[in-house]
Homo-oligomer: A and B are copies of this chain.
């Protein structure tokens, strides 16, 4: 089906060009942009909620939140008292650069230090779409099983940080941490890994420290 492939490559190329423009805009405005990707239910919103609530004391933070339906996550995040914009994708399984450009239309980017983008819960499709972010963070919850990096390699080897989430449940689910690290490093040998529990606060310091450092600029 050469026609299909051609069209898909056309979409990706156009997306990448727009993403590059967005990244320049973000950098010019001195706002660092971090995207979060994971399976549904790995804990992106909970982690982001706690992160925004803490960082808002020292940084000017905001968030864009992608979902197929409902604005539940945006409402949850807005409780932290920071600007949050919902992106409802309908049946589309990922965010793309055009959606980001539309969502920030009218925003004064220079009024932010750090902007988070929470993608639709999906370990496959978001891997192919550059959103103009400076760093991509992939979450792997201990409840999902240690094999997920091997089964969804692209999302892990395009990420800048892997966060093992819900670490407080590790014992209850029999999580094998060594195997998880081995699998993450098999697909992303240089990938930094950190562990958090947004619920108990365990590991939050390491995660916040990573966010406060200059973001990777490999893109």
Contacts and interface: CB of A to CB of B under 8 A. Distances in A.
A145 B3 CA distance: 40
Given A4-B7, A41-B144, A144-B40, A91 B123 contact: no
B41 A145 contact: yes
A123 B147 CA distance: 18
A179 to B, nearest CB: 12
Nearest to A150: B70
Q: How many copies does the complex hold?
A: 2
Contacts of A152: 40, 68-69, 121
Given A40-B152, A91-B127, 12 more contacts: A3-B7, A7-B7, A39-B40, A68-B124, A68-B151, A69-B150, A69-B152, A69-B153, A72-B151, A91-B124, A121-B151, A141-B143
A68 B187 CA distance: 14
A29 interface: no
A125 interface: yes
Interface string A39-82: 11100000000000000000000000001111010000000000
Interface residues of A, number: 37
Given A91-B124, A122-B122, A143-B169, A151 B69 contact: yes
A197 to B, nearest CB: 12
Contact of A148 (B40, B93, B125): B40
Q: Which 10 A-B pairs have the closest CB atoms?
A: A41-B144, A93-B124, A143-B143, A39-B40, A172-B172, A39-B39, A41-B145, A40-B123, A70-B150, A93-B125
